[in-house]
Amino acid sequence: MMDPSNNHHAVTLTVNGQTRTESLPPNLLLSEYLRDHLRLTGTHVGCDTSQCGACTVLVDGAAVKSCTVLVVQLPGTTIETVEGLGRPDQLHPVQEAFREAHALQCGFCTPGVLMTAVALLNGDPHPTDAEIRRGLDGIICRCTGYENIVAAVTRAGNGMAAAQEVG
Amino acid sequence: MPSEQLAPTRPGSPMGQSIPRREDARLLTGHGHYTADVNRPGQLYAVMVRSPHAHAHIRSIRTDAARAVAGVAAIYTGTDVAGRIAPIPTAWIPPGSDLAITDHPALADTTVRYVGDGVAMVVAESLDSAREARALIDVDYEPLGAVTSVADAMREGAPRVHEGVSQNVALHWRAGSDPSAVDHAMKTAEVVVRQAIVQQRLVPNPMEPRAAVAEFDAAAEALTLWVTSQNPHIHRLLVAGVLGLAEHRVRVIAQDVGGGFGSKIACYPDEVLVAFAARDLGRPVKWVEERREHFVATTHGRDHVDEVELAGRRDGTFTALRVRTRANLGAYLSTAGPGVPTILFGLITNGPYDIPLAATEVYGLYTHTTPVDAYRGAGRPEATFLIERLVDLFAREIGMDPVAVRSKNLVTEDRFPYTNAFGITYDSGRYHASLDRALEHLDLGAFRSEQAAAARHGRLLGLGVSTYVEMCGLGPSEVAGAVGFQGGLWEHALVRVLPTGKVMVMTGISPHGQGEETTFAQVVADRLGCALDDIEVMHGDTQLVSMGWGTYGSRSTAVGGGALSVALDRVVDKARKIAAHVLEADVEDLAFREGRFAVHGVPDRSVAFTDVALKAHLAWSLPEGVEPGLEAEASYNPSNFTYPFGTHMAVVEVDPDTGDINVQRYLAVDDCGPRINPLIVEGQVRGGIVQGIGQALWEGGAYDAQGQLLTGSLMDYALPKARWLPPIETDFTETPAPHNPLGVKGVGETGTIAATPTIVNAVMDALAPMGIHHLDMPLTPERVWRAIQDARTTAPAATGGMRS
């Protein structure tokens, strides 16, 4: 619904488990909303052509580049960012696997890689190396050379599958 | 060789252990503090207006429409800041190079000299307002002719980048043996191979764009600048100087930095302008680079045209090397720009080979392109690429296997310390052991059989080898001065033990992915016997750290770790005196192990380090002459660079129908001395290798004749992707640096240095049966396919440019 006084639109969406109704300008990107409005600065912006994938978040479970979608396109959706994944003292299995496998160096692309990995593993907890590498096509990491990321995703998938069996 | 320096001092020591990084928890959960994450109350937003022309006069700039945009606080042009912001200086003036130093204004006032050159800055209440105003600024340019390549820069009648700089020559530098002796050796040699080689321009592309946030406290006349920097103290020095601020009232903070690879060493106009505006407007100002800006406004790397000659005997022995280079420096001299293609390149062009006569001559040239500065390896990849290509060409010319030729010329272990023809002294090396180790992993004979069998089916397999050495761990400050670097290269550390025994470490290095928050904690835990969780390593804030020269040139652990080691020695020495006092024993009678001081032979007469720390702070009873507290600092000035080395090998298959290259295997054997954290070292090696493969196969910054960057976005500039890469096998030998307190050598750049020639040599090995012996990078399928087509239409005896 649009507010004619300022051209803003009312949008209701859920971010990291919290449902919000906001009045937002129509040209506001999801990345800007997360970083500037909610101060969720874990989502990074690395380029302006949707190539780098550092800004990747989950929209209804799917990996989406938040620099490429307007918030007003997302009414009723559920957004998950890296901040919703785990805490420093209680890492998500994917985060823990990245730590153990040294799958990050400068850490700038990492939030987007993590969210991409979560989406990938939710679809298939046991991807092959080739499937993981293909699955990482939407992100660019300049530091690691990717190999440790591939190892971390494999490790995380095994961990998540084991946890589900136990659970 | 045992690595005595790094032997853990106690069982269970974290030294040498692959411990997951302590910086990861915050970075994995979105709690890093990158510059773009900084927001200050009341901040304004800056955007830059950049030249769309490579070379033009600015006739006029109309800003009235832009100023009328709601929320615009200020618009600055070159005329506005002239005289108020000093020119951006270079910090490297190689002696004897006749460096033509030219002014680099923060904003161009009369002339723009590259696409991306700053013309104006808009500051506004919101980013939207700033961008809207930017679009309304009307700059009237008079376009002029541009020169973009070193091939054209020296030509008669070429457009001049700077008035008064003849033939666009920024510097002319020579090093090495007497040129006439080299010339004579070339003329009388049994074999000479010559090759013209282009080492293309690269765009660093750390995933975090540059950014700056500035806040000025007018009452205190104090500036705080958050900036994406690899060296906050260098930024403090330069920003204070350019803005005429007192250095002690400038605080530079670079907490988490999202990669640099050399591109965040330089002091750029942008952070100076942001700081200027914050002072001028009395409000915090924030600027974040866009990726498209990064491509044109952040320094580039490489961009050489080299003519190289290697002379030797038919038995495979090298006798002389001559390197003549034209290096593109871009439109202005960047902070370290002049030092990269001279000092960091020209002194080590012989690589790991014993070549009695060697000379390098370099012309550094101005062009109408983005300034060129350090990019991972900075000069040493260029040197390594040349010699490694030449060795293969030489081997082919005399019909020996490239591995055998390498083995014949590698400096032998008994020659260390080895001084090369350029007068630099390699600290330690076991080059043959490294080559042997690699050959244990890759059976050369078996591969050659497989290659021959594949060839019978029309398949092109190739093996590439690079035996490299590099000069890093920058470096001895006396040498820095002697080679014209306008700074020191020592490093500082402070170790502060608190009353509870917890330890704070402040280091002048500025890691941005290299993991020293972890490795330095491992060194401390090993030495003091405390738990990793009891140690905090702090960096990246000039208010917190008294001094330092930053993270580049693979210096952080070698030099910063050296300072840390010396400071730890001092802490232990002081603690030992207090412990002796407590135990009523002689200092010489105390052993310090596992965090306890104990009297030799009387283990129950002991005191814990943490108890000593408390007693040091309480100061109720200290030995005479011992001050209260327990902390020490050290400034470590290394006596030499460190010279890591290794052997890399790659197996590739080239598709003769498409020119596509499939890297089937990549093997790296590296030696950086003892590894404090093997997991982190391996990460540095792997990441570096992929950047080196990127140059070999995909990356390249290309300009058109008008100076437009054709590869100006991530859609046009190919950064390596996960699915293009093979797994990378790693192994290590361990040869300590004899002069370094930890025995360690740098490892941040070795992968990039070794990988590029390894891959190109492999592709050339695969293409050799077609008579193709050299192709310039990147080896895109199109370039390879065209070469194959050309080879098929010319005589089989074609040599692909190689002459002897």
pLDDT in tens, B363-386: 999 999 999 999 999 999 999 999
Q: What is the pLDDT of residue A162?
A: 78
Residues of chain A numbered 4-33 and touching chain B (CB < 8 Å): none
Write the CB contacts of B625 (distance below 8 Å, at least 6 apart in sequence).
none
Write the CB contacts of B562 (distance below 8 Å, at least 6 apart in sequence).
B491, B636, B638, B740, B741, B742
Q: Is B665 on the interface with A (CB under 8 A)?
A: no
Tell me if B259 and A108 make a contact (CB, 8 A cut-off): yes
Q: Where along chain B do its domains lie?
A: 4-32+490-636, 35-144+209-257+264-297, 376-473+642-793
**CA geometry: angle at B208 spanning B202 and B209, to 5°?**
70
CATH class label, B35-144+209-257+264-297? alpha beta
Q: What is the mean pLDDT of chain B?
A: 96
Q: What is the pLDDT of residue B796?
A: 54
pLDDT digits (tens, 9 = 90+) for B207-216: 999 999 999 9
Q: How far apart are CA B168 and CA B363, in angstroms?
A: 10
Residue with tokens 């993981």: A132
Q: Residue B286, SS3?
A: strand
Average pLDDT over residues B221-248: 98
Q: What is the pLDDT of residue A1?
A: 66
**CA geometry: angle at A59 spanning A53 and A61, to 5°?**
100
- Structural contact between residues A99 and B20, judged by C-beta atoms closer than 8 angstroms: yes
**In which band, very low, low, confident or very high, does the pLDDT at A161 lie, cut at 50, 70 and 90?**
confident
Domains B4-32+490-636 and B376-473+642-793 equal at CATH topology level:
yes
Average pLDDT over residues B279-288: 98
Q: Is B515 on the interface with A (CB under 8 A)?
A: yes
Q: What percent of chain B has pLDDT over 70?
A: 97
Q: Which domains does chain A have, with CATH numbers?
A: 2-84 (3.10.20.30), 93-166 (1.10.150.120)
Topology of the domain covering B4-32+490-636: Aldehyde Oxidoreductase; domain 4 (3.30.365)
Closest-CA residue in chain B for A103?
A: B683
Q: Which CATH number fits domain B376-473+642-793: 3.40.50.2000, 3.30.365.10, 3.40.50.720, 2.130.10.10?
A: 3.30.365.10
Closest-CA residue in chain A for B28?
A: A95
Tell me if A143 and B205 make a contact (CB, 8 A cut-off): no
Q: What is the pLDDT of residue B603?
A: 82
Tell me if A105 and B513 make a contact (CB, 8 A cut-off): yes
**In which band, very low, low, confident or very high, does the pLDDT at B799 lie, cut at 50, 70 and 90?**
very low
**In which band, very low, low, confident or very high, does the pLDDT at B1 lie, cut at 50, 70 and 90?**
very low
Which residues of chain B neighbour A102 with C-beta distances below 8 Å? 20-21, 679-680, 682-683
Average pLDDT over residues B316-321: 98
Q: What is the pLDDT of residue B6?
A: 53
Tell me if A146 and B512 make a contact (CB, 8 A cut-off): no
Q: For strand A8-15 and strand A18-24, is the pairing parallel, antiparallel, or unpaired?
A: antiparallel
Residue B41 CB: number of other CB atoms within 10 A?
7
Closest-CA residue in chain A for B126?
A: A36
Identify the helix (H) or strand (E) that includes residue B636: strand B630-636
Does position A108 have pLDDT exceeding 70, yes or no?
Answer: yes
Query: Which of A42-56, A59-73, A152-166 comes out lowest in average pLDDT?
Result: A152-166
Name the minimum distance, in Å, from the CA of B190 to any CA of chain A.
43
Best probe of the A interface among B28, B39, B291, B728, by most A CBs < 10 A, is B28
Residue B460 has which token pair?
């092109």
Number of helices (H), then strands (E), in chain B: 21, 28
Among B24, B687, B722, the residue with its CB nearest the CB of A133 is B722
Among A49, A100, A141, the residue with its CB nearest the CB of B207 is A141
Identify the helix (H) or strand (E) that includes residue B791: helix B781-793
Q: Is B686 on the interface with A (CB under 8 A)?
A: yes
**In which band, very low, low, confident or very high, does the pLDDT at B436 lie, cut at 50, 70 and 90?**
very high
Does position B719 have pLDDT exceeding 50, yes or no?
Answer: yes
pLDDT digits (tens, 9 = 90+) for B502-523: 999 999 999 999 999 999 999 9
Q: Is B712 on the interface with A (CB under 8 A)?
A: no
pLDDT digits (tens, 9 = 90+) for B639-681: 999 999 999 999 999 999 999 999 999 999 999 999 999 999 9
Q: What is the pLDDT of residue B751?
A: 98
**In which band, very low, low, confident or very high, does the pLDDT at B322 lie, cut at 50, 70 and 90?**
very high
Residue B233 has which token pair?
């103290």
Tell me if A46 and B39 make a contact (CB, 8 A cut-off): no
Tell me if B291 and A46 make a contact (CB, 8 A cut-off): yes
**In which band, very low, low, confident or very high, does the pLDDT at B9 lie, cut at 50, 70 and 90?**
low
SS3 content of chain B, % helix, strand, coil (to 5): 35, 25, 40
Which residues of chain A neighbour B514 with C-beta distances below 8 Å? 105
**In which band, very low, low, confident or very high, does the pLDDT at B803 lie, cut at 50, 70 and 90?**
very low
Q: What is the pLDDT of residue A166?
A: 64
Does position B411 have pLDDT exceeding 60, yes or no?
Answer: yes
ipTM over 0.85: yes
Q: Is A46 on the interface with B (CB under 8 A)?
A: yes
Best probe of the A interface among B24, B376, B681, B685, by most A CBs < 10 A, is B24
